[in-house]
Amino acid sequence: SASIMVSPAIALAFLPFLLTLVIRYRYYFVLFYRAVLVRFIQDCLSGLSREERAFQYVLTHVTPGDPDSILEAFDHWCRKVEYISNIGPKKGRLLDRLILENAPLIVLELGTHCGYGAVRIARSLPLGARLYTVEMDERNAAVAEKVIRLAGFDDDTVELIIGPSDQVIPKLREDFGIERLDFVFMDHWKRCYLPDLQLLEGSGLLGAGSVILADNVIFPGAPHFLRYVKRSGLYEYRIHRATLEYIPGIRDGMAELTYIGGGTQREK
């Protein structure tokens, strides 16, 4: 009977600890609920992918040819309906600013997903500039293609390339005639950030002043990538602190790199 009496006492002792855990990690529970549980249920009920569901909403809530309305519709859907890890409006403003400041003519995006980032970049590009965006998932690429065209961007402005980034990067010069990348936006699998950066270096597509912006370097995180950037001596770099898109309680950040090609690394 003593052991039976101990059990509720132990449970009571653990209660404050459990409450502390729930409170401290509440935003991660929200993320798990919205990104995993809701998605699983909706996948079963709808027979569509999450990206296809987002597109259905966007299609009925936007003005064709108006990129801003497409971004706003995505942001609303991701906040209120289901979670998709687009760059989102807050971190997106940094991307907007860097595109406007650098006025890049040739841009590479790694990880098109459903086209949010591509639309965000394309609307700020100078006249005559071109965005090449790479997506390995064919089903997502089909959605992204529709989103990009719905926003009013044709093949001359945004070219969608379907395939794994590590296969696409070595062929950019040969297949697309690209001599130099002025701007690279990385928002694909975080484990690919470092090998893909090294592929870009090896391909000779980065020139002095080429800018690379990498999203989600704090959460989910890209520690090997950050360690390499700091030690390589090839970049000026800075980390922009931020919060995770659509979940303001989770800390995140973006890494902004400027290729200097040798010498010692400098923090901007």
Q: What are the residue numbers of the active site?
A: 187, 190, 215-216, 245
The answer to whether 135 and 144 have CB atoms below 8 angstroms apart is yes
CA separation for the pair 187, 98 (Å, rounded):
16
The answer to whether 216 and 185 have CB atoms below 8 angstroms apart is no
Angle 67-80/50-59 helices, nearest 10 degrees? 130
Q: Which of 75, 159, 94 is nearest to 122 (CA)?
A: 159
The answer to whether 156 and 185 have CB atoms below 8 angstroms apart is no
How far lies 186's CA from each of 26, 70, 95, in Å?
A: 28, 21, 11
CA separation for the pair 237, 230 (Å, rounded):
8
Q: What is the Cα gyration radius of the chain? A: 21
Tokens of 182: 């002025």
Instruction: Give the count of beta carbons closer than 10 Å to the beta carbon of residue 130.
Output: 18
205: helix, coil or strand?
coil
The answer to whether 82 and 213 have CB atoms below 8 angstroms apart is no
